[in-house]
Structure 1
Amino acid sequence: MPLELPSFPPAQQPQIIRSHQRDFFQVSALREQADGVLRAWLGTRWLSRWDKEFELCTKLLYLGLTVGRATQTLGEEYTDIWIHPTHSGGVPAWRARAALVLLPTLPSYMLSRWGSHLPPTSKLTSLVRRLPALLEILSEVNLAVFYFRGTYYDLVKRMLGIRYISATPHDPNTRPPSYSLLGVLLVVRLIHRLVSFIRSSAKADAGGSVELKGKRPVDDHEEIYIDDRPVSIMIGRANSDETLQLTTEEDERTVLDFSQIPPVARGSRNCSLCLDERTATTSTECGHLFCWDCIVGWGREKAECPLCRQSLKLTSLLPIYNL
């Protein structure tokens, strides 16, 4: 008799969800530990400057050592599931594994790192700025479908046709939990976003030809200006070498006469992020003061004040020239 190869059942929703939660925890823990080492060696300002690249390298390292080598991630090992191509079967080909490593990491990095360097009035810039929101909506739609049908938790795996199989046999006497309610909530959220987008578009069209007296008209990109300088360009320059090398005396965005300030008073001007004397002092909506470069770098990663955790918007930062 010919030998029958063992068949494995498809992974259940709880296994897939716990696997992704575990992987997210492991990547966060790896980044936090490496962040502490690099912060101690190279300083907070250097880490803030290269934070995007550091995050990318952390994810590539974790996925490359697991998915790239055709082995389980720690989350998949924890729940005893394996990725399985629906078309070919067996181990995914190296092209599919490379896509599983690069597609979840590189596009978001490129959009966040290079999107602010494009000309603010270009059509390409408008498209690039809308891509993150579009990708987020597609991910939510995919997640809603997963909660209803139980397959393809990740958008990239749906594109590549890669599912999960389980090495644990299903218990026919146990009914798996249903996550349909989460799918319904996501659908409601998507409908709310669609209605909000339609309303905002209608208001923009109605008020597009109206110019407020004494104020700069808002264009299609909703550009915000500070002293006749676009905020998008100021944010794009936050990581430049010239800005990082400026001292307080050379800072053009500070009008203080430092020769008249006693050393004790200058010691109170330190930024709580880089621990150096502030350059281009900037205030958040909650009133805390930081260097412009430091708070912009922080705000790109966490939309909250590093001191009081109040919500933070980069377009709401206020440069202060006399503090």
Structure 2
Amino acid sequence: MDFRKARARQPEIVRSVQKDARYTTELGEDLSDILRLTGPRNWIKYNQLCQLIAQLSYHGFASINNLQTLGEEYTGIIQVDGNFKQIPSRLLQLIAIILEFGGDALFLRVLQKLQKHVAEHDEIVPEAKQKLQKFIQSLRQSPSYIKALHKSLFYLNSSKYQLSKRTTSINYVLIRHWLQPEFSLYGYKILGVITFLQVTVSLAIGGWETWKEHKRQQLEALKQAGKSFLQRSESQQRAVVDAPQCILCLEPRQHCSLTPCGHLFCWNCILEWLEERDECPLCRESLKKSQVIQLRNYV
């Protein structure tokens, strides 16, 4: 049988999900009250799991027994496969349930493992490791945007309210379609457009903030590089200033040379001096070019 003509619309699906959420919340609160009886320590430690257990058990029981949930029975809808031919298999329904209520935690867990693997992998060069870490960090924020985009698509024209249903190609059909009230769905379409625009603006703002942060980091890196360069230049200038000077050229001595009288000059400076006169520039003692000794490894 082909159920395409009886495809459920947005109002029935939303009411069904809201009804099931109400029942699972009440079941989670009951489990939390039972857990409280075991002691405050266990309640604090395991209370957050009560809602997850309630959701998995509520929907899992219906799937295993090929039953409608209370919300689906209330609105008169059932689940069918992607071809609108038959009821989805139990395995497919269970996968959809796990993805719906545990998909976010599994996704974040995988990202955490991947981030740890990248950080501990010494063969990855530092620049690539830094880029991978930023990419993984951006993926942590992606589920909320993906869900919002999917919800806007549902409001516009779709029978898949949950992202898990789209992943597993499970559709909803209305089995009491002759009782379907006739009213306009333009309100949902407007809501879909607004949701899409909201997500688009949020993505644009996030991209702009990321770009500004990238530019800020580049500017900071340039400042650090300039600061390091200035520090090296100052150190070199300080080293030049502190170096012993030649009395003839008043510059740091180049190829330091020694006279018999014990005075130090640049090799070229003292030779040029001796071209004019045969005496030491300082003590006026008689001096010849052959008596000047060029020193090695001496500043």
Q: TM-score, normalised by structure 2?
A: 0.60
Deviation at residue 175 of structure 1 after TM alignment: 2.9
Match of 1:175 in 2: 183
Structure showing greater radius of gyration is: 2
Pairing 1:73–2:82 present:
no
Cα–Cα, structure 1 residues 41 and 115, in superposed 2: closer, same or farther, change >3 Å? Answer: farther
Deviation at residue 152 of structure 1 after TM alignment: 1.3
Match of 2:208 in 1: 199
The Cα offsets for residues 91-112 of structure 1, whole Å up to 9 and x where unpaired, read as 2113312212211123323356
Unaligned runs of 5+ in 2: 120-128, 221-299
Deviation at residue 164 of structure 1 after TM alignment: 0.9
Alpha-carbon separation, structure 1, partners of 2:11 and 2:194: 18
Pairing 1:13–2:10 present:
yes
Deviation at residue 38 of structure 1 after TM alignment: 1.0
Deviation at residue 5 of structure 1 after TM alignment: 9.2
Asked whether the 8 Å contact 1:22–1:74 carries over to 2, the reply is: yes
Deviation at residue 140 of structure 1 after TM alignment: 1.1
Match of 2:37 in 1: 40
Secondary structure of the structure 2 residue equivalent to 1:36: helix
Match of 2:96 in 1: 100
Cα–Cα, structure 1 residues 130 and 56, in superposed 2: closer, same or farther, change >3 Å? Answer: farther
Counterpart code for 1:39 = R
Q: 1:156 aligns with which of 144, 152, 164?
A: 164
Deviation at residue 41 of structure 1 after TM alignment: 2.3
Cα–Cα, structure 1 residues 116 and 162, in superposed 2: closer, same or farther, change >3 Å? Answer: closer
Asked whether the 8 Å contact 1:10–1:165 carries over to 2, the reply is: yes
Counterpart code for 1:34 = L
Match of 1:87 in 2: 83
Secondary structure of the structure 2 residue equivalent to 1:83: strand
Q: 2:144 aligns with which of 119, 136, 151?
A: 136
Asked whether the 8 Å contact 1:70–1:92 carries over to 2, the reply is: no
Secondary structure of the structure 2 residue equivalent to 1:89: coil
- Output aligned runs, 1:221-232, within 5 Å: none
Alpha-carbon separation, structure 2, partners of 1:71 and 1:89: 17
Deviation at residue 54 of structure 1 after TM alignment: 3.3
Asked whether the 8 Å contact 2:18–2:71 carries over to 1, the reply is: yes
Deviation at residue 209 of structure 1 after TM alignment: 4.5
Q: CA RMSD in A?
A: 3.2
Deviation at residue 48 of structure 1 after TM alignment: 3.1
Deviation at residue 144 of structure 1 after TM alignment: 0.6
Alpha-carbon separation, structure 2, partners of 1:93 and 1:191: 36
Q: 2:198 aligns with which of 173, 181, 189?
A: 189
* More deviation, 160-169/171-180: 171-180
Q: From the two aligned structures, give the one with the greater helix fraction.
A: 2
Q: TM-score, normalised by structure 1?
A: 0.56
Cα–Cα, structure 1 residues 210 and 51, in superposed 2: closer, same or farther, change >3 Å? Answer: farther
Asked whether the 8 Å contact 1:144–1:187 carries over to 2, the reply is: yes
Count residues in correspondence.
208
Secondary structure of the structure 2 residue equivalent to 1:175: coil
Asked whether the 8 Å contact 1:9–1:165 carries over to 2, the reply is: yes
